[in-house]
Amino acid sequence: MDYDVKRHLHEVLGRLPSGVRLVAISKYHPNEYIEAAYEEGQRIFGESHEQELRHKVETLPRDISWHFIGHLQTNKVKYIAPYITMIEAVDSLKLLREIDKQAAKCERVIDVLLELHIADEETKYGLTPDDCRRLLDGGEWRSLQHVRICGLMMMASNVDDEAQLRAEFRTARLLFDELKARHFADAPWFCERSWGMSHDYPLAVEEGSTMVRVGTTIFGPRVY
Ligand SMILES: *Cc1c(COP(=O)(O)O)cnc(C)c1O
């Protein structure tokens, strides 16, 4: 292993205030990198491809919590439903319904986040703030007994402009507060704000993140 995962993991952890959790994004990295982080106590890892995740789940320690962070096709939900801890990127009611259906078959309740689209990149998935409002105002989600909406996830624009990044995180934070007050005032589990990646997580934490998703800084560049 030519990258010092342990040192970089501790660097990131050292910059997180207590109460902010780290999801170590291990996509495209081999098991030995994950094991190095695991040996240091890291237990939450994030992956974005169902097959790669399945292989890792079968070959790595059982007490790892896996977050699915990528775009999830509805026909893949059944494969991850038995074990996934959190599905971070729910971007449609259709996907939410399918997660509910598959979770019911497994007699589980699956925690999810709604993926918010604020960044100006056109290719990114996610719900606009108005899509989020419509989905929740629609109310159908309340009848889905096997999913639990725990908060919002978002990816900021891939820019260095600190003012722009802060503005995007603040927009997400304001929407979180609005939705919390409107739909989840009595739901203490609606508390997660998943924002911050390698290039912007210190800013994201300043802007109210509760969960950062950091890959490259911990594991080095991905080899696709
Ligand atoms: C890959 C990925 C990350 C991690 O990105 P890094 O820049 O490597 O830290 C975070 N969130 C999502 C949704 C990703 O797909």
**Atom 6 (ligand 1): residue with closest C-alpha?**
215
Distance CA 175, CA 169 (A): 10
Q: What are the tens digits of pLDDT across the range 99-112?
A: 999 999 999 999 99
- How far is CA 170 from its chain centroid? 18
Atom in ligand 1 nearest the alpha carbon of residue 89: 13
pTM of the model: 0.97
Distance CA 192, CA 137 (A): 20
Distance CA 37, CA 57 (A): 15
Position 123 scores a pLDDT of: 61
C-beta of 209 in contact with ligand 1 (< 6 A): no
C-beta of 42 in contact with ligand 1 (< 6 A): no
Half-sphere exposure of 201 (CA within 13 A, CB side): 25
Q: Helix, strand or coil for residue 96?
A: helix
C-beta of 69 in contact with ligand 1 (< 6 A): yes
CB 210 within 8 A of CB 193: yes
Q: Is 119 or 184 the better-scoring residue by pLDDT? A: 184
User: At residue 124, does pLDDT exceed 70?
Assistant: no
CB 89 within 8 A of CB 72: yes
